[in-house]
Amino acid sequence: MTDLQMNIHEGLVCQGSDVAMVTGDYEYYHYGCDGLDDRGWGCGYRTLQTLCSWVRRQQMQTGAAASHPVPSIPEIQKALVTMEDKGQAFLGSRDWIGSVEVALCIDFFFQIPCRVVHVASGAQLPDVMDQIFSHFRDLGAPVMMGGDSDASSKGIVGACRDPPSLLVVDPHFYGACTTGQHLQDNSWVKWVSLEHFCQKSFYNLCMPVMPDKS
């Protein structure tokens, strides 16, 4: 495994006020980070791996359970077939996964439930901002965000109420990560105003719920 950058949002200034952020460490998984060229189809898997890295570190810190390693893409596909969410043809495929599959896998590998919040359109994201903000304030877990017209899966590691915006960690980067600053300078992690999300796309938000923080 290539060395992964951690907490790539750190040092990125929010221009707004009333901010809630991820708490605890995560690793930034992105296209090709383990030598598998998954450009064009692997963004959901990479965001899942980023969430898994956070869950694993939380479990290791508490010592409450022996935590599973962050699963590889083949392991994720095998798990979804084992759960009968996917058929055998899914193994070795380039089929995408979304927030529902992410929730299933976090529960499968780590026995951690997730809350999946459905938003009918990007125009309705303001209606769930209180839920997103409360999630970061109370639980501190990174969030997976996926949609349909906006099919680019992404991680969310913070929320700002004024102006309403989300801190996006984009898994579509391909190449060697030099520093978190490099990723920030090239907008692979950035604050995105709610109005800049696809207004016609639905979105599903997968929010891990650590039992000791619920």
Q: Measured in whole angstroms, how far is the alpha carbon of residue 70 from the centre of its chain?
A: 13
Catalytic: 34? Answer: no
Q: Which of 33, 38, 43, 206 is catalytic?
A: 43
- As a whole number of angstroms, the distance between CA 167 and CA 28 comes to 14
What's the CA dihedral at 209, 158, 205, 193 to 10 degrees?
A: 170
Catalytic: 135? Answer: no
The conformation of residue 178, written as its DSSP 8-state character, comes to -
Q: How many residues does the chain have?
A: 214
Q: Which of 107, 150, 172, 182 is catalytic?
A: 172
Task: Determine how many CB atoms are found less than 10 A away from the CB of residue 15.
Answer: 8
Query: Which residue, among 22, 27, 79, has the nearest Cα to 53 in the 3D structure?
Result: 27
Tell me how many degrees the CA angle 73-23-80 measures, rounded to the nearest 5. Answer: 20
Q: Which of 9, 30, 170, 206 is catalytic?
A: 170
Catalytic: 85? Answer: no
Cα torsion angle, 109, 1, 26, 192, sign: negative
Query: Which residue, among 31, 77, 26, has the nearest Cα to 52 in the 3D structure?
Result: 26
Check if the beta carbon of residue 168 is closer than 8 Å to that of residue 125: no
The distance in angstroms from the start CA to the end CA of the chain is 33
Query: Which residue, among 44, 27, 71, has the nearest Cα to 145 in the 3D structure?
Result: 44
The catalytic residues are 43, 170, 172
